[in-house]
Structures are given as C-alpha cells and as structure tokens.
Amino acid sequence: GAVVSQHPSWVICKSGTSVKIECRSLDFQATTMFWYRQFPKQSLMLMATSNEGSKATYEQGVEKDKFLINHASLTLSTLTVTSAHPEDSSFYICSVRGGGRSYNEQFFGPGTRLTVL
C-alpha cells in the first residue's frame, strides 16, 4: 500500500488567517488524492478530489474559493484554508487512491487537526 504523510499534524491559528496543509505520497505516484474533513464524532466527508495537473473537483457545498487545492506533482497535494473561521476547525485528512490491483483501496494520511481561535 501507499504511505501518506501530512504536515502539519496540528495547527492553531487566529480567525481570518490562512492555513496550508500538505499531503505527500511517499512511495507512490498519486494522480488522484482526496481531501476529507471530519468533525468530532462524525464520519469523514469528502471535500474534494485533487487531480495532478488539473483543477480539483469539489463536492457540493464546499466552497472552492475558501478551500484551495493544488496538486502540482504526483507526490504532493496542498489544501489551503483561506480566511479561516472557528467553524472551519476540524480534522482534515487526505488519502491516496492505490494503483493496479489496489485501485479501489484508499490509503490515508495521519490527518491534520485545525483549530481556529
């Protein structure tokens, strides 16, 4: 399976600032990465699909201008939460879709906990 890292693992910021979260596929070239958000005691909700070299596909209800996604290489996708507010506080998790026989598997990063004061 793929090994996925995220940075930072947690971040605390003031309301109105922007925060960038990195997702790296360490041993696998990922053309597709996914960004999820998870609120406490809730399920993972897909925010967007990040495609290498093209625009991300956002799920309904997710503001593309607020959650900027850049997938500039096969190993790195970034999520920038712009003008963050307390309601954006959540656990953000990225995942990589496997290749070959693992195409239907997802490999998750460790997550980034964002707290907006």
Partner 1 sequence: QQPVQSPQAVILREGEDAVINCSSSKALYSVHWYRQKHGEAPVFLMILLKGGEQKGHEKISASFNEKKQQSSLYLTASQLSYSGTYFCGTGPSYGQNFVFGPGTRLSVLP
Is 73 within 8 Å of 60 (Cβ atoms)? Answer: no
Judged by CB under 8 A, which of 21, 93, 96, 114 binds partner 1?
93
Provide, rounded to whole angstroms, the least separation between the CB of residue 41 and partner 1.
8
Examine residue 105 and tell whether it contacts partner 1 (CB under 8 A).
yes
Q: Which is nearer to partner 1, 82 or 106 (CB)?
A: 106
Provide, rounded to whole angstroms, the least separation between the CB of residue 101 and partner 1.
10
Q: Which residues would be at the binding site for partner 1 (CB under 8 A)?
A: 1, 34, 42-46, 49, 93, 103-111, 113
